[in-house]
């Protein structure tokens, strides 16, 4: 699957934005916009007296503007990021509200850091290569909290939260086998292509470019034209933009201030080595991810963490692909790979039974007729009882669990399947979901509430047992599993 960017195509995209001012019909939306930064007044126009007193007493604006250099940039990735900050700091009530939120939620940034660790060096290198502001390395924290399988209610996906149409516009492939919007490497390059094109369109104004990344460039240009017609200022802070977009840039700028001096906000960041975490292995064969994880010395969950774009537990038949592995595991993987026969990648073989058809076999094994014909090089749908069929690797995870779950004679016991959680002051769907290792959108669905609903202290929430989530994934159509946390679903179903 191609992951390199066509230079001429990107230049053409930039020219198209600049010359024709085309409107992106599907704006990018944050997967957890309301949960990460809950506030009763997202625009942040006015601060309460208590908030104003707190900000004055802590003097956050002055403190946060001072970069602390604890170690050379070549040793610590956070120091390298701080030294690359370029966006100007402004004093604005919207930013102050976000700063207060960080101060009140000191565990948020360490959780972000934990999820960002595998991907952050690659993003920083890509920004450095392009000469872009290092604040952009924090943008996935605002978009997806660095959850590589994050899906929004608007079908945006991945750490950069691309809508399907926007992803296609930027060359990100989305098919039955693979979704490049979730591919951290491909999506990062596409996101930076897009951000560069927006910055060029808005003449280097990164605040406007970021607003356009969130709301669409057409929406921002219309707001500029409206203000210009009224004789008003046309900077980001003066524009009449959607509520979420008004808080979008303040979230990023506030996070940069916290990263500059986390101690001022009662939080901390640990050292991240300024070196690659992962590398690529090119495999020119149909391969099974469960076997790939095995010979790499990784769990399936660890493999999916670096390869979240796979929608099946195998690549497309007769398709070469890049597999992303931790640097320290690549040598072992290559050594064991060299000793494998290519057919060992396809470990599932099925003996055709009387009455079988390709359609029934495909359904039973969680694959498609097309995939079966490709793997087995069949020119027609005709098959013969007693012959063997190779089943694409995706079948191994799904089919085994489907037969087990559907064979149960008893229904799921409710008492064994859930936890009742009592909401406490300061809780949000996102923080509760994180503490129980479940997806916040699933948590909302289980309790028939929306992501925007305000939780009340004392409110009871149902949190399903993770094995029930796995069983649900096993009995669902394979395409629907992506609505769950795919890492967790794949790992659990494989048990």
**CA gap 208, 214 in Å, rounded:** 10
Residues 445/479, Cβ–Cβ less than 8 Å: no
Residue 334 CB partners (closer than 8 Å, separation 6+)? 281
Domain termination residue (choose one: 347, 376, 402) = 347
pLDDT at residue 348 in the model: 62
Pair 71, 177 in one domain: yes
Model pLDDT for residues 300-350, shown as the tens digit of each residue: 889 999 999 988 666 766 566 889 999 999 999 999 888 876 655 555 667
Q: Choose the weakest-confidence range: 159-168, 300-309, 371-380, 476-485.
A: 476-485
Question: Of 78-87, 411-420, 479-488, which has the strongest mean pLDDT?
Answer: 78-87
pTM: 0.64
Domain termination residue (choose one: 240, 265, 290) = 265
Provide the β-strand partners of residue 310.
Answer: 178
Model pLDDT for residues 219-252, shown as the tens digit of each residue: 999 999 999 999 999 999 999 999 999 999 999 9
Pair 133, 36 in one domain: yes
Q: Pick the catalytic residue from 113, 135, 143, 207.
A: 143
Whether residue 367 is contained in a domain is answered as no
Pair 232, 301 in one domain: no
Pair 75, 54 in one domain: yes
Whether residue 370 is contained in a domain is answered as no
**CA gap 342, 193 in Å, rounded:** 37
Pair 73, 222 in one domain: yes
Q: How many domains does the chain have?
A: 3
Residues 122/278, Cβ–Cβ less than 8 Å: yes
Whether residue 61 is contained in a domain is answered as yes
Model pLDDT for residues 463-484, shown as the tens digit of each residue: 875 444 444 444 333 333 333 3
Annotate 172-240 with DSSP letters as a single string: --B-SSBBTTS-HHHHHHHHHHHHHHHHHHTTT-HHHHHHHHHH-HHHHHHHHHHHHHTT---SGGGS-
pLDDT at residue 492 in the model: 33
Rounded (10°) CA dihedral 147, 442, 250, 456 = -140
Pair 302, 184 in one domain: no
Per cent of the chain over pLDDT 90 is 44
Query: Quick one: which of 238, 256, 241 has its CA closest to 142?
Result: 256
Pair 294, 260 in one domain: no
Q: Choose the weakest-confidence range: 97-106, 112-121, 283-292.
A: 283-292
pLDDT at residue 263 in the model: 94
**CA gap 347, 287 in Å, rounded:** 9
Structural domain span for residue 483? 414-493
Pair 291, 259 in one domain: no
pLDDT at residue 440 in the model: 79
Please measure the distance between the N-terminal and C-terminal CA atoms of the chain and give it in whole angstroms.
Answer: 29
Q: Is the pLDDT of residue 285 over 80?
A: no
Pair 476, 334 in one domain: no
Query: Quick one: which of 439, 378, 382 has its CA closest to 147?
Result: 439
Pairwise pLDDT comparison (317 vs 111), residue with the higher score: 111
pLDDT at residue 274 in the model: 96
143 an active-site residue?
yes
Pair 343, 464 in one domain: no
pLDDT at residue 300 in the model: 82
Whether residue 399 is contained in a domain is answered as no
Pairwise pLDDT comparison (422 vs 349), residue with the higher score: 422
Confidence of residue 152 (pLDDT cuts 50, 70, 90): confident
Average pLDDT over residues 286-299: 84
Average pLDDT over residues 91-99: 94
Pair 74, 128 in one domain: yes
Domain termination residue (choose one: 328, 347, 366) = 347
């Amino acid at each position: 699957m191609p992951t390199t960017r066509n230079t001429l195509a990107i230049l053409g995209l930039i020219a198209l934005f600049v010359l024709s001012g085309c409107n992106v019909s599907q704006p990018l939306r944050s997967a957890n916009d309301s949960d990460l930064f809950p506030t009763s007044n997202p625009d942040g126009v006015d601060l309460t007296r208590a908030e104003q007193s707190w900000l004055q007493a802590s003097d956050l604006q002055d403190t946060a503007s001072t970069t602390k250099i604890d170690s050379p940039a070549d040793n610590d990735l956070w120091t390298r990021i701080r030294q690359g900050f370029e966006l100007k700091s402004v004093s604005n009530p919207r930013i102050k509200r976000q700063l207060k939120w960080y101060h009140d939620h000191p565990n948020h940034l360490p959780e972000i850091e934990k999820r960002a660790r595998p991907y952050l060096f690659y993003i920083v290198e890509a920004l450095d290569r392009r000469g872009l502001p290092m604040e952009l390395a924090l943008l996935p924290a605002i978009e997806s909290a660095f959850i590589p399988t994050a899906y929004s209610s608007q079908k945006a996906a991945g750490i950069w939260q691309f809508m399907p149409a926007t992803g296609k516009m930027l060359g990100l492939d989305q098919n039955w086998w693979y979704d490049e919007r979730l591919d951290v490497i491909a999506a990062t390059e596409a996101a930076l292509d897009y951000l560069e094109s927006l910055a060029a369109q808005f003449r280097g104004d990164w605040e406007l470019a970021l607003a356009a990344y969130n709301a669409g460039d057409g929406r921002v240009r219309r707001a500029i034209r409206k203000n210009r017609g009224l004789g008003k200022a046309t900077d980001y802070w003066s524009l009449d933009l959607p509520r979420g977009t008004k808080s979008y840039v303040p979230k990023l700028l506030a996070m940069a201030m916290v990263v500059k001096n986390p101690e001022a906000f009662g939080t901390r960041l640990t050292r991240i080595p300024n070196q690659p975490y992962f590398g690529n292995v090119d495999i020119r064969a149909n391969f099974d991810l469960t076997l790939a994880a095995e010979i790499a010395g990784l769990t399936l969950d660890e493999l999916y963490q670096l390869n979240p774009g796979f929608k099946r537990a195998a690549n497309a038949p007769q398709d070469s692909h890049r597999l992303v592995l931790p640097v320290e595991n690549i040598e072992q993987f290559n050594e064991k790979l060299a000793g494998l026969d290519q057919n060992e990648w396809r470990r599932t073989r099925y003996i055709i039974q009387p009455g079988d058809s390709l359609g029934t076999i495909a359904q039973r094994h969680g694959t498609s007729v097309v995939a079966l014909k490709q793997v087995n090089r069949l020119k027609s749908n005709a098959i013969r009882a007693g012959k063997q069929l190779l089943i694409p690797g995706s079948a191994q995870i799904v089919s085994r669990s489907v037969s087990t779950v559907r064979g149960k004679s008893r229904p799921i016991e409710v008492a064994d399947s859930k936890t009742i959680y009592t909401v406490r002051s300061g809780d949000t769907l996102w923080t509760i979901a994180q503490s129980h290792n479940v997806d916040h959108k699933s948590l909302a669905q289980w309790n028939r509430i929306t992501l925007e609903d305000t939780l009340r202290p004392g409110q009871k929430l149902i949190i399903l047992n993770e094995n029930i989530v796995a069983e649900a994934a096993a009995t669902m159509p394979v395409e629907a599993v992506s609505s769950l946390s795919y890492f967790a679903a794949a790992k659990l179903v494989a048990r």
